[in-house]
Copies of this chain bind each other. A is one copy, B any other.
């Protein structure tokens, strides 16, 4: 729950990010150029793509040798076998496959298309961009850098666009977080009639990810950083709390 107005503002002048660059520093410079000043409790929502780029999660497809399994699966789903090799290397299991569709359990537990690997918006046609190795750690590192340099305690949320079961269209979804709630436990909060709420867990960081996604545009690079002000819920990830364990999941 948030008890005041929520204000969501995209940062407009973030430069293209190159591997190895200091993402926290670049974001702070852009915030300074925009004339903003961060406040304790602000949340910076960052598109996965620029986190992955800064962490050099770029793979040149020319150097990828598909395994026999990747070759077979690539033929079945009609995708580039080198891309399928990368998808498999980033995944624990294939959840669904159809021509044009490959939905996997990512090594981080996310059920998602193509292990979150993206070929658009990457320099050069034959490059692929993987998710960060550990997006919660990425969020913590960015948060720590910002805190060290500014003495302001912000939350950081890294998001990607996910497809869903049952519904059309992607929505912004949390993949890494620090300094914000992820799964919000409402147990013990009564409803208006004093009875316990039936809904006891809210995917709070996913709601925030979706909200920020409205302001990013879907290319995710044009406005890859969004500032959210007005959050009053407090908590501390990780995003792993949002991942339903396989044994409790009825849909894989």
Binding site for B on A (CB under 8 A): 1-2, 5-10, 16, 96, 98, 101, 103, 110-111, 118-121, 123, 161, 164-173, 183-184, 186, 189, 191-193, 195-199, 201-204, 206-211, 213-215, 217-219, 221-222, 230-231, 241-244, 249-252
Contacts and interface: CB of A to CB of B under 8 A. Distances in A.
A165 B1 CA distance: 23
Of A167, A183, A206, chain B has the most CB atoms within 10 Å of the CB of A167
Contacts of A206: 167, 169, 171, 210
A193 B123 contact: yes
B123 A169 contact: no
Given A5-B9, A219-B191, A221-B191, A199 B168 contact: no
22 contacts: A1-B214, A5-B7, A5-B215, A6-B8, A6-B211, A16-B192, A111-B165, A120-B193, A120-B196, A120-B197, A120-B198, A121-B192, A123-B193, A165-B166, A165-B252, A167-B242, A168-B183, A171-B210, A192-B222, A197-B218, A204-B214, A206-B210
